[in-house]
Chains A and B, each alone.
Chain A
Amino acid sequence: MQSRFTRIAGWVDDRTGLPSAISSFLLEDIPASAGWPHVFGSVALFLFLVQGLTGILLALNYAPTPEDAHSSLTYIVRQVSGGRLVYGLHHWGASLMIIVVFLHMAQVFIFGAFRRPREATWLAGVALLLLTFAFGLTGYLLPWNNKAYWGTVVTTRILAGLPGAGPILAQLTGSADRVGAVTFSRFYALHTLLLPAATICLIAIHVYLVRRHGITPERRSDQEMRKFFPEQLFRDFCAVFLAFLCLFLAACFLDVPLERIADPTDTSYVPRPEWYFLFLFQLLKFFPGRLEIVGSLILPALAVLSLALLPFVERTYLKILKGRVQAACVVALAFSGWLALTTAGSWGPEQPNPKGTISAAGDDRIQLPVQMIAGYAYFQSFHCEACHDLIAGPPKPGPALGVTELQHSRDWILQHFTNSFRAGAAMPFPQRIALFEFVTRSTPDLVQTLPGIRPELLNGAQVFVASACASCHKVNGSGGDIGPSLNGLSRRRSRDWIRAHFAAPGKLSPGSMMPSYHFKEKEERDLITYLLSLPE
């Protein structure tokens, strides 16, 4: 008598044919010579599935707009339970997938599995390799940090510079005018819709072709066959488990750097692509000026073309690849070239220490009134956050700032500063006015913007206010008219000139009414940094 389970299985098989299909898939004959080198395809497929799963999870909490992308990703990593791990799995999974896909291709190459009749299988594999790179390229714009922004700027410029198709590609990627919201949406759509769909289709074709033509037998083997299940499946699963273990440990113990939000005005940032694009990055350096197209298009295109044509050309001409040792030597040579380029690409100037650099173009936030910036710095240095939140936070005795309208008069608030400060009434009037400006004019947007200002600029703004520079100099449209406006100072004066001017204004500017200032070293450095960062 048939058990209920058998009857149900029989019904499903009868109606869908799935159990029979799975069974024939598992019990397919493969060459007995197949073994551990043949596991990479399964690992690559597994990693693609992990990328899909973690990508979906990220998308559930991710806002694909330039305004919100970085903050939503920060939210995922810092506030959502398990978010750091999910992001880590996705980030490191991308790198591991590139490695595994290359190992898979190298194995196929060394074993000569691209030869007739498996040309189409090889071509599908080459297309999948390109898709894997396309995933990487479109994916790393999405955190919308400096690396994402500048990486995309360089990529889209390269595309736009291609002869003939350049302008069309620039339009298609939404980067004809600038890398912005349209580019972001295009890359997001590519990364989450078009590329996955294309990859799934190609994987299906690739697996079908592998099954159709079978695994390449060893050349000198006696064509002995065995079943895919359980031995080869066991090997595949062991390799998959190892890959998962590596990925899991990387996600647990290696931080994925979030970096600062994309800042198009940050000229101090040294753009570097992800490690798997470093070889292209380095290649471009060898071809300056009009030769750039050789590094950006011709050589990469030739490499892809030679990969695609390999099964057709090799059959006739490249006898050297007949043996595995020779083929392995070719792979080793290609790997050495790639490694040399990647290593050279990773060398170069480090990200500068922000303390020592000044962004020539300035920071948008520096366009805020100096009193707001200094007021925010005083809010911090006098520990006002002990009683007041900025917008939101844990419950505190005083009202939050930045969201509710203040209920007290100007005099009451200024008196409150004097009464409340642990520093007592020692706070001079200009500082109190700056704090008052901050407290009374804060808005949610402003309060979220100000924490991004670098500490030395905050300190510089404080020194500016404390020294009452605004009595004589205009900054960002407000201040006195006795002295010149200080906006755009970086174009007119050097750091040394300003330092000398503080010490003896009359020497450098004959007739100047400005008194001498002798600041402490750090105060002077931060004040000059602030002044030089002011926009035009």
Chain B
Amino acid sequence: MRKTTTDSPGIIRRKLMIQAICAIPAVIGGTLSAFAGTYLCARRRVAGFEWADAGDVSLMRDRTPAQIRFTRAVADGWKVRAEQCSAWVTIDEHRNVTAFAPQCTHLGCAYNWQAEKKQFVCPCHGSKFNVRGDVIEGPASRPLDRYSIKLEGNRLWLGPLKDTEDV
């Protein structure tokens, strides 16, 4: 005959069992949720970026941005693809080269250079940037993103975006 649960040790045992019943799903659920969260949210452990040859800049005119197209390797999940990219490149009077990423810093639309106004203008929401990439008019709140660059003679090499170099 089983012992009844009305006496004190029985009540303590019952309480311990109930506590375990609450704790075990919490431990298992917490562990699995932590791993699921890590799996879903964390960045991939290995990511590479590639310096891409963006062409010859010897013929570019000072302070007149030119859109250049180039191919770069893009690590996309489990694939590495050759992707067509572009950049707006400017050269100042001291022949310092700057290469802007072609997306507006507001919501990512492709902007254009309007030569008569000497501005980059985004067709989506009207953001305007000067030739140095600074915001003239919103809604964009920060300057244009810039590629890392290096020059080998007159050949321009573009690397990762400067503010996303943490990959």
Contacts and interface: CB of A to CB of B under 8 A. Distances in A.
Which secondary structure dominates where chain B touches chain A? mixed
A238 B79 CA distance: 43
Nearest to B20: A234
A392 B80 contact: yes
Interface stretch (A17-25, A78-86, A98-106, A163-171): A78-86
Contacts of B72: 403-404
B12 interface: no
B20 A237 contact: yes
Interface in B32-51: 32, 35-36, 38-40, 42-46, 48-51
Contacts of A393: 48, 50
Contacts, number: 127
Interface residues of A, number: 49
A392 B47 CA distance: 9
B9 interface: no
B71 A392 contact: no
Contact of A394 (B25, B48, B82): B48
A81 B24 contact: no
Interface residues of B, number: 45
Contacts of B17: 230-231, 234
B73 A403 contact: yes
Interface stretch (A56-64, A133-141, A198-206): A56-64
Contacts of A244: 28, 31
Interface string A195-237: 0000000000000000000000000000010100111011001
Given A233-B21, A394-B48, A404 B71 contact: yes
A364 B117 CA distance: 58
Interface in A369-420: 389, 391-396, 399-400, 402-405, 407
Contact of A226 (B1, B2, B42): B2
B159 A395 contact: yes
Nearest to A26: B21
B52 interface: yes
Contact of A444 (B36, B39, B40, B82): B82
Contacts of A389: 48, 50, 73
A402 B82 CA distance: 9
B81 interface: yes
Contacts of B46: 78-79
B77 A72 contact: yes
Interface of B: 1-2, 14, 17-18, 20-21, 24-25, 27-28, 31-32, 35-36, 38-40, 42-46, 48-53, 70-75, 77-82, 155, 157, 159-160
Interface of A: 32, 50, 53, 57, 60-61, 63, 68, 71-72, 74-75, 78-83, 85-86, 224, 226, 229-231, 233-234, 237-238, 240-241, 244, 248, 389, 391-396, 399-400, 402-405, 407, 444, 448
24 contacts: A50-B32, A57-B39, A72-B78, A81-B43, A83-B39, A224-B2, A230-B14, A231-B17, A234-B17, A234-B18, A237-B21, A238-B20, A392-B73, A392-B80, A393-B48, A395-B51, A399-B52, A403-B73, A404-B53, A404-B71, A405-B71, A444-B73, A444-B80, A448-B80
